[in-house]
Structure 1
Amino acid sequence: MPKFAANLTMLFKELPELDRFDAAAEAGFDAVEVLFPYDMQANEILSALGRNNLSLELINCPPPNYTGGARGFAAVPESRDRFRHDFKRTLRYAEALGARLVHIMAGPARGPEARETFVDNLRWASDFAQKQKLTIEPINDIDMPGYFLNDFDLAAEILDEVAAPNLALQFDTYHAHRIHGDIMACWDKHAHQVGHIQVGGIPDRHEPAGGDFDYPAFFKMLDDTGYAGVVSAEYFPSGKTTESGLGWLGLRSV
């Protein structure tokens, strides 16, 4: 069965941030993601991870210093210096917390110059942080209008062009559905580049159960094909508490 992580930025939001680690462990998760850990003390996060025997799977770059502004700068030509400054700060957090992955956010941009900037920044980041595993994630235009990396085929082309051994594709089933419609066709085409998986219900991004996608079959396929990475639960709980909707975790044994 896959190893599951809880995205603590979206799950257990009924609890204070540091208490979410305890709740995730009690629910049976082996790992967690914290998209933006920058407002918490690193020693407090490390303590919460340690007492619960949790690993930290992923954090996002850049830090959330964009109040009301763009989410990410890696593809924004006029923000090249800002991206590199923010990446160095993110890398310090990743190293301190033992984060396995850093997701580099492209930000809002369009056109050839944006693509060139994104490729250049990814090459620089991959070389600057050779020991850190990095990901890029296509995000749909409905949830994040104007986001540069809005297509899995584009992401695949960029990964091939950068050709860095520490840079991989972040495959979010919800975004794959929103962008391409057929999740499994998208997976079959791009699975060889995937370094991390995130899941959420189709079509509403609630619990990954029921709806329009066969998650038990997807998890079994991951087992059958030897996927060794983590599957992160990144969704909006449909009930008043996250715990009330965690019955889907039983799908691991299907």
Structure 2
Amino acid sequence: MRLSANLGFLWADRPLPMAIRAAKSAGFDAVECHWPFDVPASEVAAALTETGLPMLGLNTRRGQPGENGLAALPGRTTEARAAVDEALAYADAIGAANVHVMAGFAAGPEAEKAFVETLGYACEQAGDRTILIEPLNHYDAPGYFLQTTTQAEAIMDQVSAPNLKLMFDCYHVQLMEGDVSNRLERLLPLIGHVQVAAAPDRGTPDHGELCYSHIWQVLDRIGWAAPVGAEYKPGGDTDLTLSWMAAARGDRD
């Protein structure tokens, strides 16, 4: 089992280059982040080179305070495209393979039209990089445009770009739709990244409603080979929450 540390949550109390080094020391195989833009890309790239860890991906900016992305906001096309350009440029500078384009708080046909158009632009600009979209649950992100994998499938059909993929976060999917094992298998051709956390508390992936010993086996059976992103809230010192890693790897080694 290969694992990626999501540094938006893990070691979030440290500067990003230090968090990358901490992830290496903890035995992670890769890292990913949320919004690294305040850190010079050269510093992040240096830490990645030093540790040998790949950076799997980052998010587009949220927008103004209280917003959670721009891509599905009608009338905000210029800002949404600028956010895409910024994220792709940063990804290029640090060698990140994926950019998650955040939809934002919106609803209705005009929001869908805006999202499809922005995603089409992002996919055209991405080159050999992958554009990700992620359904978010309506408890943590009430009013977020993209909430289910079913909705994501419909959006992806409209965009019809080979480099547009689904970020399948088991935590969000469990809270909104359930049936995580079958959805992983059915949606495998559309999935670009998998993330894990306990449901419903978003803690370490070793308790709660989801049986992760089973999820690891499902991922193995369907042939998922990329690192799985640990995007959980440690609730304190990250280093004290990592015992689940040995169990996850032991289930599949």
TM band (smaller chain) = over 0.9
Task: Encode CA deviations 1:68-88: one digit per residue, 9 max, x unaligned.
Answer: 231111111111111011211
Q: Percent of pairs identical after alignment?
A: 39
- Contact kept, 8 Å, 1:80 with 1:117, in 2: the verdict is yes
Who is 1:52 aligned against?
51
Who is 1:245 aligned against?
241
Show the 5 A alignment for 1:113-192. Answer: 113-192=110-189
Q: Secondary structure at the match of 2:58?
A: strand
Post-superposition offset of 1:12: 1.3
Who is 1:7 aligned against?
6
Distance 2:136 2:25 in 1: 31
Distance 2:13 2:75 in 1: 38
- Given the alignment, which residue of 91, 94, 109 partners 2:91? 94
Query: Normalising by structure 1, what TM-score?
Result: 0.94
Task: Encode CA deviations 1:5-50: one digit per residue, 9 max, x unaligned.
Answer: 0011100124333211111001100110111110101111111111
Paired residue type of 2:165:
A
| Pairs aligned (count) | 250
Show the 5 A alignment for 1:171-250. Answer: 171-238=168-235, 240-250=236-246
Distance 2:94 2:15 in 1: 19
Paired residue type of 2:136:
I
- Given the alignment, which residue of 80, 84, 102 partners 1:83? 80
- Contact kept, 8 Å, 1:57 with 1:101, in 2: the verdict is yes
- Contact kept, 8 Å, 1:180 with 1:186, in 2: the verdict is no
Gaps of 5+ in 2: none
RMSD: 1.4
- Contact kept, 8 Å, 1:31 with 1:56, in 2: the verdict is yes
Post-superposition offset of 1:229: 2.1
Tell me, yes or no, if structure 1 residue 19 matches structure 2 residue 15.
no
Distance 1:10 1:143 in 2: 15
